[in-house]
Amino acid sequence: MKRLALLFAMVAACSGPTPGVSSTSVGLAEGSITIADPVLTAGTVSLDIVNTGQFGHTLVVTTDAGVVVAATGLVAPGDSAALEVTLAPGGYQFSCRIVSVGGDGQLLDHYQMGMRADVAVRETES
């Protein structure tokens, strides 16, 4: 009987995430945002964010209409952050919205430099 209970506990632990919950890794670096899985499941989404770049970055999650859904604070070089957000089915964009001044006095817009990626959120499977 104890073995059967242990077997059920092990199967439950290995059955995977709760339906409607997704997670993915997001890498931030100068000129790019890398998403391990750009197709997510609607519901609560956990984002594990790592800044592998030389400068601080943020992660801003917006709808296709440009509405900000969630954002991190500044993620320093070599640091990581976690962000949990509830997403409905549809298209989203992950981006860095930092604008700074370079050594030559020119504006450096991280978004314009390519720090954006498209994400699709699908209905939860039954």
Q: What is the mean pLDDT of the chain?
A: 86
Residue 84 lies in a domain: yes
Residues in Cβ contact with 98 at an 8 Å cutoff, skipping those fewer than 6 apart: 56, 57, 58, 74, 109, 110
* CB 38 within 8 Å of CB 117: yes
**CA-CA distance, 42 to 24, in Å (whole number)?**
13
Which residue range is the domain that position 102 belongs to?
Answer: 19-122
Residue 96 lies in a domain: yes
> For 45-93, how does the pLDDT look when each residue is reduced to its tens digit (9 = 90+)?
999 999 999 999 999 999 999 999 999 999 999 999 999 999 999 999 9
Residue 68 lies in a domain: yes
- Number of domains observed in the structure of the chain: 1
Structure letter (DSSP) for residue 112: T
Residue 14 lies in a domain: no
Residue 105 lies in a domain: yes
Residue 1 lies in a domain: no
Alpha-carbon distances, residue 78 vs 18, 74, 116 (angstroms):
30, 12, 19
Q: What is the CATH number of the domain that holds 105?
A: 2.60.40.420
Which residue in the block uniquely carries the two structure tokens 């801003």? Answer: 60
Residue 126 confidence class, pLDDT cut points 50, 70, 90: low
Q: Is the pTM for the entire model greater than 0.85?
A: no
